[in-house]
Amino acid sequence: MERINFFATKDDLLLVLRKVEASRPIKYTRAGRLAGPVPEVWKSGDDLPQLGKATGDQAVACDPFLITEEGSAVQVESGRMADRQERFDVYQNMNPDSIHLLPGGEWTDGAIISGSIVTISKSAISQGIDEISALCSQKTFHPCASVLGWP
């Protein structure tokens, strides 16, 4: 497993995501608990809802996305809750050929909530995390006590 933690604004994230998009056809799929059996999908980081705005007061509470190759199918897990309602989830362990993006961003009080990118496999798209890491370590971000931050 590889993980990169960072603090970034929308503009910081878009610099990196646009470079990755220019290098290969990818898509972003909403991860976590879904409202229905079909997940929302975007072809560009520019279109991700609330990018740059933290949707929770800590990283774990923010909206996650999976980055996959554009033509790949994303597996959705379904199950019944105790109240008999059906639930739908998208997780990286069911979609190992992916990168899990938790963008973090600016919280309501102006604080920047950390984000992360994580991969659990050695597939081509998952190894794209190395590409992202290289982009982050160039001019966009710099290491800061084992967390990437902006210069």
Total structural domains in the chain? 1
What is the Rg, in whole angstroms, of the alpha carbon atoms belonging to the chain? 15
Three-state secondary structure of 9-39: CHHHHHHHHHHHHHHCCEEEEECEEECCCCC
HSE-up of residue 90 (Cα within 13 Å, Cβ side) = 28
Tens digits of per-residue pLDDT, 12-38? 889 888 988 888 899 999 999 998 999
Tens digits of per-residue pLDDT, 45-71? 999 999 999 988 888 888 999 999 999
DSSP 53: B
Q: What is the pTM of this model?
A: 0.83
Q: Residue 41: phi, psi to the nearest 5?
A: -135, 140
Tens digits of per-residue pLDDT, 84-142? 889 999 999 999 888 899 999 999 888 889 999 888 887 777 776 666 666 555 555 55
CB atoms within 10 A of CB 136: 21
Cα dihedral value 36, 37, 43, 48, nearest 10: 30
The H or E element that residue 68 is part of is strand 65-69
List the domain range (segments joined by +) for residue 145. 2-149
Identify whether the C-beta of residue 24 lies closer than 8 Å to the C-beta of residue 69: yes
